[in-house]
Chains A and B, each alone.
Chain A
Amino acid sequence: MPDYDVAVIGAGPAGLAAAVRAAESGARVAMVDDNPHPGGQIWRAAAGKAPAEAARWIQSAERHQVEWIAGARAFAAPAANRIAVETFDGALELGYRSLILATGARERFLPFPGWTLPNAMGAGGLQALAKSGLPVEGKRIVIAGSGPLLPAVAKYMKEHGADVRLIAEQAKRSALLGFGLRLASHPGKLMQAVGLRAALLGIPYLTSCWPVAAEGKDKIESVTLRRGGKTWTERCDYLACGFGLVPNTEVGALLGCRMAGGGVAVDEQQQTSVQGVYSAGEATGIGGLELALVEGEIAGFAAAGESARARALFAPRHGYRRFAGALERAFALREELKALPREETLICRCEDVTLGRVRACAGWREAKLHTRCGMGPCQGRVCGGAVEFLLGWKADSVRPPVFPARIESLARSEPRA
């Protein structure tokens, strides 16, 4: 007898939607997330004030008695239909009939000289810290990298009194204009884009522009940017830099799920290649908020046996997937970015391994064995996305624990027959 009909890993939009739809279909549902509050990164509450849309889903989950397990990180699958999770002060195992992986995405970081300096961080990274109370008022911030996250972060920082110097977007203006035309068939998105542009008034949005170096002694003091033939240095307190998103697939890989296009592969009911294991949202490929919600709803219905109700959502999902595809093409990373790191630039921040040492290896396996690249605490989550882009190497297999876990937790989750 499993503890739950449906266990959901991840409490962002996809996980919340999945948990709510499964629970309202009569399933006994648990929802696990490594953060203290539900909402994921996009709905990360600023000082307890979750956006209205997030609050609706969170209240609905409470009303349908979804069991909320906070601050818990899945790290192993000790037996069939069981998942082990670690909390701040312990570990527990959940038994389930169906599992829904809504593990979201992380930022893709590309190394360049100085990227390891304190206060040079991800775009979403600075946003997360600001939402957790870091005062940005009066701080000079350069926002760089690629994707729709950059203007969103700029808007948030500006609203909180930051001196946002500029947004450096690596994509070409022509690529984004083509994308803008496609937006016309998605009125909601168009409004969103227009709204953002209005709020951004006064912040230069430079296309075909990227950072080539960060400078500073104990922390970042300036960033050197390049645009066409022009190179200049901008003084700053923070650099918020991320080159798009990468799906979090580690738990899916641990369970043996097939991957496709960098994410967890799913069928039309959001089921993975493993019977009874579903996946939704960014873990299956980067697609944004609306797609994550509808995929979560489909997975929730399907996992609870309501396949007809799942089917009714296929049409909106198709529309959002087309939009996601257009977005991906518009913000595709340019070849020139491969020249960002020098041979002596660190690629692996956990083990301090340079590009030169990694490049000298034949592939991921040799790099791990000879240089320890990807073998530190983050287990390749940061350098993996960079190495994939710079050298074309795909990360190899995943082994438990998928997160560094305490010895007591591991002892509890020994594989059993």
Chain B
Amino acid sequence: MTDAVKLSVNGVPIAVPQGTMVSTAIALAGVTRFRRSVSGEPRAPLCGMGICFECRVSINGREHCRSCQAPCENGMEVETDA
């Protein structure tokens, strides 16, 4: 992976190929719960295309980012509702 992008998911560093979406990086990091629903259920991506908002996480401190439409960038800090 010469063109790998390095970011962190919940503080754990991970390297992914260029063009990988944040949602995929989260799954690759072994995290299955992207957020907790209003009643506390674990949730993860449903639509994969920016419609359902189930994939929303915090990216560089900005909350409610749809991870399925955000490409990974070097140095990104991603936090799920772990």
A5 neighbours in B (Cβ, 8 Å):
none
- A34 adjacent to chain B (CB < 8 Å): yes
Asked, given contacts A35-B69, A134-B27, A377-B64, whether A129 binds B45 with beta carbons under 8 Å apart, the answer is yes
Q: Is the interface of B mostly helix, strand, loop or mixed?
A: loop
Q: CA–CA, A84 to B48, complex, Å?
A: 24
Pick the most buried of A71, A124, A134: most chain B CB atoms within 10 A of its CB. A134
Asked, given contacts A118-B42, A352-B38, whether A35 binds B50 with beta carbons under 8 Å apart, the answer is yes
B residues 47-82 near A (Cβ < 8 Å) are 47-54, 56, 64-65, 68-71
Contact present for B44 and A119 (CB under 8 Å): yes
- B17 adjacent to chain A (CB < 8 Å): yes
Q: How many A-B residue pairs have CB under 8 A?
A: 116
B68 neighbours in A (Cβ, 8 Å):
128-129, 132
A48 neighbours in B (Cβ, 8 Å):
18-19
Apart from A128-B48, A128-B49, A135-B28, 19 more pairs, CB < 8 Å: A34-B50, A36-B69, A48-B18, A118-B33, A118-B42, A119-B32, A121-B45, A124-B49, A125-B45, A132-B24, A133-B19, A248-B51, A349-B46, A349-B52, A351-B38, A352-B37, A382-B46, A382-B52, A404-B53
A216 to chain B, nearest CB (A): 10
Residues of B participating in the A interface, judged by any CB pair closer than 8 Å: 16-21, 23-24, 27-28, 32-34, 37-39, 41-54, 56, 64-65, 68-71
Q: Which of B28, B47, B54 contacts A124 (CB 8 A)?
A: B47
Q: Which of A127, A352, A382 contacts B51 (CB 8 A)?
A: A382
Closest to A122 in B: B47
Contact present for A129 and B24 (CB under 8 Å): yes
- A218 adjacent to chain B (CB < 8 Å): yes
- A273 adjacent to chain B (CB < 8 Å): no
Q: CA–CA, A145 to B54, complex, Å?
A: 20
Contact present for B53 and A352 (CB under 8 Å): no
Asked, given contacts A118-B32, A125-B49, A381-B51, whether A133 binds B17 with beta carbons under 8 Å apart, the answer is yes
Closest to B59 in A: A88
Closest to A376 in B: B53
Closest to A47 in B: B19
A residues 100-147 near B (Cβ < 8 Å) are 106-107, 109, 116-122, 124-129, 132-135
A107 neighbours in B (Cβ, 8 Å):
47
Asked, given contacts A106-B47, A133-B24, A219-B44, whether A36 binds B71 with beta carbons under 8 Å apart, the answer is yes
B53 neighbours in A (Cβ, 8 Å):
350, 376-378, 404
Q: CA–CA, A121 to B48, complex, Å?
A: 8
A248 neighbours in B (Cβ, 8 Å):
51
Q: CA–CA, A122 to B52, complex, Å?
A: 10
Q: CA–CA, A126 to B45, complex, Å?
A: 9
B45 neighbours in A (Cβ, 8 Å):
121, 125, 129
Q: CA–CA, A10 to B71, complex, Å?
A: 18
- A41 adjacent to chain B (CB < 8 Å): yes
Q: CA–CA, A21 to B69, complex, Å?
A: 28
B18 to chain A, nearest CB (A): 8
Q: CA–CA, A350 to B33, complex, Å?
A: 15
A-B contact pairs, 30 of them (CB 8 A): A36-B71, A48-B18, A106-B49, A107-B47, A116-B37, A121-B45, A121-B47, A122-B48, A125-B45, A125-B48, A128-B47, A128-B49, A129-B21, A129-B23, A132-B20, A133-B20, A133-B21, A218-B32, A218-B33, A218-B42, A219-B32, A349-B43, A350-B38, A350-B53, A352-B37, A352-B39, A377-B53, A382-B47, A382-B52, A404-B53
Contact present for A352 and B64 (CB under 8 Å): no
Q: Which of A71, A73, A122 contacts B46 (CB 8 A)?
A: A122
A residues 190-234 near B (Cβ < 8 Å) are 218-219
Contact present for A134 and B32 (CB under 8 Å): no
Q: CA–CA, A135 to B16, complex, Å?
A: 12
B20 neighbours in A (Cβ, 8 Å):
132-133
Closest to A135 in B: B28
